[in-house]
Structure 1
Amino acid sequence: MTTELKNSIDRILSNPRRPGRQLDFSEHIKKSVIGKGLEWVLGTGNFNIKKFNRKGMTQVLDRRSFIGTLSHLIRVSPSSEKSKEVSKPRALHSSQERCGMFCPCDTPIGEACGLVKNLTLMAHFTTDVEEGPLISMCYHLGVNHWKHFPGEEIHNPNSFMVIFNGQFIGYAGDQSEAQHFAGTMREKRRDGSIDQFVSVFVNENQHCVYIASDGGRICRPLVIADKGKSRIKEQDKKELSDGIRTFDDFVRDQLIEYLDVNEENNALIALQEREATPDTTHIEIEPFTILGVCAGIIPNPHHNQSWRNTYQCAMGKQAVGNIAYNQLHRMDKLLHLLVYPQRPLLTMSTIELVGYDKLGAGQNAIVAVMSYSGYDINDAIVMNKSSLERGFGRSIEMKRYSASSIANRNM
């Protein structure tokens, strides 16, 4: 649109016989260019612009099941080609798996294996925070502006540089001063003076203090520990369960804070409070939050082979049940609804967290593992005919049909 506007204005200004009235740019803007472009992207999912062609920009939300919809909303699409047979992009990086940012089990089977990842239960994507006030606060807290020092200061082995969103803004002094500055910034974040998703990371090997406030970083919440003791007490838990306080109140009251991958390198995190030491800085809210939505509904996943958990993450999305409370009033293209959905016999904490226990999917079946007619059957089931006649596994398929009528049509 801007290119066409520029060409149109250039043609008008280059015309010596143009009228002398003031030029109004708004008259020459073709608004339909953006409108048609957005319609094309939403309809096909592809950007087709000069020098910029990208596929898969939009996707149709999966509504086959409730858990499949949740999984689709936390999916991270790949940036590399699926057809290339390379192993490194498919491996889950240790900083992502160990820190609980991406689910180690939930990934497709086939050529997209390892490339398409899913976020964990409590992972969060950051959004952009205004940089100006944060840079001013850094200078106010003792960061020396780079203009006031010679270039030799960069090569000083005792000097720590301050990098803000990849931009060099100054010096924090020696190592003790850099640690003090980073600790002050964290206190400002905890008391609400700056945004809760601002990251402060001291890299002693590179002699740098990295501050990040940009969008697109993955972070997750952790309980703050003081000398190995959790800040969350029994009274806090009771108020949370009674509905007096919320999770956001815990963040505002400096009980919980969000850390990204970089800042977790400076943190010592304990799985349980009983495992914490005086050097522990944070404690996990719950260990099972290192899994995603689909892997979290598997009973005792640590007793399974890892690839069996991956299979269940793929098959759990296909379970027929109720997709939502408004399923009978929806206009989806195709819906499958189970007539007699049931809750699972074994309820996991993830099921209660996401509300899956209120929307049943699947039925509890009594299964006998035995030989049939002298032959062992692999990957097959012989079902009871009378149970099927009584409604076991019965489902309703709802399709969308469109009809139009023309009144007073002349034949």
Structure 2
Amino acid sequence: MVVHWLVTNSFDRFDPRSTSLVLPFMKIEYRLKMEETDRLIIDRVTIVTAFLNDERGRDGTILSPAIDKQFLAAPIKRAVDKYQLLPEFLKVRGLVKQHLDSFNYFVNTEIKKIVRSNSRIVSSVDPSIYLRFTDVRIGEPSVTMDGVSEKLDPQTCRLSDLTYAAPIKADVEYIHGSHNQKIQSGKTDVVIGRMPIMLRSCCCVLYGKDEAELAKLGECPLDPGGYFIVKGTEKVLLIQEQLSKNRIIIDTDKKGNINASVTSSSEAIKSKTVIQMEKEKLYLMLNQFSTKKIPIMVVIKAMGMESDQEVVQMLGRDPRYSALLMPSLEECGKEGIYTQEQALGYLESKVKKPMFPSASSEKDDRVMAILKDVFLANVRVHGNNFRPKCIYVAVMIRRIMDAILNKDAMDDKDYVGNKRLELSGQLISLLFEDLFKSMITEVRRAVDNILSKPSRSSRFDFSQYIVTDKITVGLERSLSTGNWDVKRFKMNRKGMTQVLARLSFIGSLGHMTRILPQFEKSRKVSGPRALQPSQWGMLCPCDTPEGEACGLVKNLALMTHVTTDEEEGPLITLCYTLGVEDLAFLSGEELHAPNSFLVIFNGHILGKHRRPQAFSTAIRTLRRAGKVGEFVSVFVNEKQRCVYIASDGGRVCRPLVIVEKGMSKVKEHHMKELADGVRTFDDFLREGLIEYLDVNEENNALIALYEKDIKPETTHLEIEPFTILGVCAGLIPYPHHNQSPRNTYQCAMGKQAMGNIAYNQATVSDGYFTLPISLPSKTTIDDKNN
């Protein structure tokens, strides 16, 4: 019998005497032997038909082997079927866990920090009269009607066009009384405003309820929450994409000059610092100076580092660095600036004049305040010790010089590791802080007006002047319109919130994982729209809109988690315990010693470590043992000779199976315990079988797709390769057989499919509700994701 082959137009040559063709669906190895010719032309072939009986040649060589049909139809055999981890992950984490975690962190921690840092309202007329906030918390969702407070649930808000909000209650301590008799007293549960509550968060009435209790409240058990109800309308506060704060980014401007920029963010101020190399000289660009460019050596001398030799030492021993710095040193000498006093005098002439000058402000004080609070605001200055800032500037200059000497040292702004995602908790925190400070200013002004009157009442009660409408109206208006106006930071963003899409259940889930870009969609640039390799497993490669927003509006992948902020103090202490040498005790020359790496924690330089690999391994071991937060990231950058440790919020990370000595740590018995309900996904994390990696730490890992790909140097294994897709793209059957744009079209159109949107759809009465399909049918093709 003859085996039929389909011949295509590209040919490969191989020697049949030394090559055997092994087909995976054959029961036996198919070894080619030819007697008459010594070379055989064979191309890439596809079997059309084959007979099941074996045909043998004269010498017994099998020409047409039998085909195992069962093997062809069987799924890929794996040592351990890890698929069950995916539903367990979604059961524990859910698709909107990042929204809930962010909002919970805000109401439990962040709001207390904001109130604590602005706790005192002191009268400028009589400084002995003050009010102090001692504590703050969020109450239960309620509404006051005819002077009576009633509990609220989300379904009532939807049907009655109410805002689902809870009172913000504070404990206050204040002085009241007449001129001569001043009494200190306190009050508890003073309402300072109302906070819109995210559904299913820790402040929501649905939190922790089972299916029966949710049904009594008129809620769908499958509804994930993560949105707000404002005036009866469901509003989603979309994830915002921003460049990473407090990180050095090296790039070029339009003229081709190399820049080192840092977008600093502290509790008090936000600023952008840029150091630029132009015509072989280094300049500082900062908004507070009238001259666009200030020689960087003048700034360093103004911070107290007068010795040129020490600056050269802080850059490193390589003579190329000192050669590149020489023109900047010469420029400083030409200006006649050698001391700190001369440098401060030079900068004073360049400072922008204040809009409302005060007689008390000294000229040197103004320059020092800019250098202390605005210039690199993320680097803290204690007293007048500017040495940490000088070292930070030296690291920025060194990075610029590395980029000049080697173009590979440039940073990519579109790299996911250089970005942060702002979630609802961070965005509401910004808005609340601005509104709270405005309220304090109004209260102080009202109290001063009363106290300045000579004929004021003898009974004066400070707590009566707290205005509740300022915070309530501000938060409600922003969530309703989507306009975020933060006056302190001159931030004015539009379109931050959208009405939750209720056309289909999948449409709602896809809406919750959508990411909005940082700049205008109308800009015709291809870079940010392109698919970045660093998006693998973090962002869905298919789910993006068509048209001008293509590639800019993105969606999270199925197992992506967005981190929230963690407490920094214990981690900094741990770093010093594990052998990090403190920056304060290092000389300029020791900074870049050949055998050591700088340790940078959340953008702050802690010091250096002589054994960076051992240090990073120690932190990873502690993380796997549960002694350090599961989302703490450690990244050893060999090119920059730095160890980056990150615990800040907004990083995207995903879970991966740990591989040790060429073996996956997740075994068959673990998966059996998971299937029996004995083990949960969190147990895998606690026992160090699975861990979260962010984009930067993935650079230190070698990740295998399947068990068969594991090598001795492999560090991690994918849980399931299809989790690189998002919620909508994951439902497409056989997406790898489609042309790429077809998957993108299906992501958009799949959200419009008519179907049942929720269990409580009969009682939902909003403009987006459509009649459900009356005769639902099962899909022709099904897959694991469905």
TM-score by length of structure 2 reads: 0.42
Name the CA distance, whole Å, in 1 between partners of 2:447 and 2:668: 73
1:245 aligned onto 2:679: yes
Which position in structure 2 is the counterpart of 1:100?
537
Which position in structure 1 is the counterpart of 2:779?
344
**What pairs with 1:272-283 in structure 2 (closer than 5 Å)?**
272-283=706-717
Query: Which of these residues, 491, 494, 517, is aligned with residue 55 of structure 1?
Result: 494
Deviation of 1:130 after TM superposition, in Å, equals 0.3
**What pairs with 1:134-145 in structure 2 (closer than 5 Å)?**
134-145=571-582
Query: Which of these residues, 472, 477, 480, is aligned with residue 40 of structure 1?
Result: 477
Name the CA distance, whole Å, in 2 between partners of 1:44 and 1:347: 41
Q: What does the per-residue CA deviation read over 1:1-35, in whole Å, with 9 as the maximum and x for residues that have no partner? A: 42453365367559655669898764443221111
**Distance change (3 Å), C-alpha of 1:220 and 1:25:** farther
> What code does the residue aligned with 1:270 have?
A
Q: What does the per-residue CA deviation read over 1:150-181, in whole Å, with 9 as the maximum and x for residues that have no partner? A: 122223232211100010111111xxx11101
> What code does the residue aligned with 1:65 have?
S
Name the CA distance, whole Å, in 2 between partners of 1:28 and 1:165: 41
Which position in structure 2 is the counterpart of 1:150?
587
> What code does the residue aligned with 1:211 have?
I
Name the CA distance, whole Å, in 2 between partners of 1:28 and 1:212: 43
Which position in structure 2 is the counterpart of 1:407?
none
Q: Secondary structure at the match of 2:552?
A: coil
Name the CA distance, whole Å, in 1 between partners of 2:559 and 2:592: 41
Deviation of 1:281 after TM superposition, in Å, equals 0.2
> What code does the residue aligned with 1:120 have?
A
Whether the 8 Å contact between 2:703 and 2:714 is mirrored in structure 1 is yes
Deviation of 1:185 after TM superposition, in Å, equals 0.2
Q: What does the per-residue CA deviation read over 1:250-307, in whole Å, with 9 as the maximum and x for residues that have no partner? A: 1111110000000000000000011100100000000101111111111111111111
Q: What does the per-residue CA deviation read over 1:234-258, in whole Å, with 9 as the maximum and x for residues that have no partner? A: 1111111222211111111111000
**What pairs with 1:138-217 in structure 2 (closer than 5 Å)?**
138-173=575-610, 177-217=611-651
Name the CA distance, whole Å, in 2 between partners of 1:121 and 1:325: 24
Whether the 8 Å contact between 2:447 and 2:465 is mirrored in structure 1 is no
Whether the 8 Å contact between 1:293 and 1:350 is mirrored in structure 2 is no
TM-score by length of structure 1 reads: 0.80
Name the CA distance, whole Å, in 2 between partners of 1:328 and 1:312: 28
Q: Secondary structure at the match of 1:111?
A: helix
Which position in structure 2 is the counterpart of 1:363?
none
**Distance change (3 Å), C-alpha of 1:37 and 1:255:** same
Q: What does the per-residue CA deviation read over 1:331-383, in whole Å, with 9 as the maximum and x for residues that have no partner? A: 333322111112212212222xxxxxxxxxxxxxxxxxxxxxxxxxxxxxxxx
1:309 aligned onto 2:757: no
Which position in structure 2 is the counterpart of 1:296?
730
Q: Secondary structure at the match of 1:239?
A: helix
**What pairs with 1:342-381 in structure 2 (closer than 5 Å)?**
342-351=777-786
**Distance change (3 Å), C-alpha of 1:20 and 1:211:** farther
Name the CA distance, whole Å, in 2 between partners of 1:330 and 1:196: 39
Q: Secondary structure at the match of 2:522?
A: coil
Q: Secondary structure at the match of 2:775?
A: coil
Name the CA distance, whole Å, in 2 between partners of 1:48 and 1:198: 32
**Distance change (3 Å), C-alpha of 1:161 and 1:332:** same
RMSD: 2.0
Name the CA distance, whole Å, in 2 between partners of 1:155 and 1:252: 37
Percent of residue pairs identical:
59
Name the CA distance, whole Å, in 2 between partners of 1:167 and 1:240: 41
> What code does the residue aligned with 2:580 have?
V
> What code does the residue aligned with 2:633 have?
S
**What pairs with 1:6-25 in structure 2 (closer than 5 Å)?**
6=441, 9=444, 13=448
Comparing both structures, which one devotes a greater share of its residues to strand?
2
Name the CA distance, whole Å, in 1 between partners of 2:731 and 2:637: 38
Q: Which moved more, 1:141-150 or 1:260-269?
A: 141-150
Name the CA distance, whole Å, in 2 between partners of 1:20 and 1:209: 63
Whether the 8 Å contact between 2:483 and 2:496 is mirrored in structure 1 is yes
Query: Which of these residues, 118, 126, 130, is aligned with residue 555 of structure 2?
Result: 118
Deviation of 1:58 after TM superposition, in Å, equals 1.7
Higher RCO (C-alpha 8 Å, min separation 6): 1
Q: Secondary structure at the match of 2:620?
A: helix
Which position in structure 2 is the counterpart of 1:64?
503
> What code does the residue aligned with 2:663 have?
K
Larger radius of gyration: 2
Query: Which of these residues, 466, 481, 492, is aligned with residue 29 of structure 1?
Result: 466
Q: Which moved more, 1:3-12 or 1:130-139?
A: 3-12
Name the CA distance, whole Å, in 1 between partners of 2:462 and 2:542: 54
Name the CA distance, whole Å, in 2 between partners of 1:49 and 1:283: 44
Whether the 8 Å contact between 1:296 and 1:348 is mirrored in structure 2 is no
> What code does the residue aligned with 1:132 have?
G
Q: Which moved more, 1:325-334 or 1:21-30?
A: 21-30
Query: Which of these residues, 760, 777, 781, is aligned with residue 326 of structure 1?
Result: 760
1:128 aligned onto 2:128: no
Which position in structure 1 is the counterpart of 2:78?
none
Deviation of 1:78 after TM superposition, in Å, equals 1.2
**Distance change (3 Å), C-alpha of 1:328 and 1:11:** closer
Unaligned 5+ runs, structure 2: 1-434
Name the CA distance, whole Å, in 2 between partners of 1:322 and 1:7: 50
Q: Secondary structure at the match of 1:293?
A: coil
Name the CA distance, whole Å, in 1 between partners of 2:716 and 2:532: 22
Query: Which of these residues, 513, 519, 537, is aligned with residue 74 of structure 1?
Result: 513
Q: What does the per-residue CA deviation read over 1:163-214, in whole Å, with 9 as the maximum and x for residues that have no partner? A: 00010111111xxx11101001001101110110000111111111100001
Name the CA distance, whole Å, in 2 between partners of 1:55 and 1:284: 38
> What code does the residue aligned with 1:80 have?
F
Q: Which moved more, 1:267-276 or 1:332-341?
A: 332-341
Q: Which moved more, 1:328-337 or 1:314-323?
A: 328-337
Whether the 8 Å contact between 1:219 and 1:259 is mirrored in structure 2 is yes
Name the CA distance, whole Å, in 2 between partners of 1:252 and 1:134: 19
Deviation of 1:328 after TM superposition, in Å, equals 2.0
Q: Secondary structure at the match of 1:350?
A: coil
Whether the 8 Å contact between 1:5 and 1:28 is mirrored in structure 2 is no
**Distance change (3 Å), C-alpha of 1:11 and 1:179:** same
**Distance change (3 Å), C-alpha of 1:85 and 1:344:** same
Instruction: Name the count of aligned residue pairs.
Output: 346
Name the CA distance, whole Å, in 1 between partners of 2:678 and 2:514: 33
> What code does the residue aligned with 2:711 have?
T
Q: What does the per-residue CA deviation read over 1:124-156, in whole Å, with 9 as the maximum and x for residues that have no partner? A: 100111000111111111111111211222232
Which position in structure 1 is the counterpart of 2:662?
228
**Distance change (3 Å), C-alpha of 1:162 and 1:22:** farther
Name the CA distance, whole Å, in 2 between partners of 1:4 and 1:16: 20
Q: Secondary structure at the match of 2:693?
A: strand
> What code does the residue aligned with 1:251 have?
L
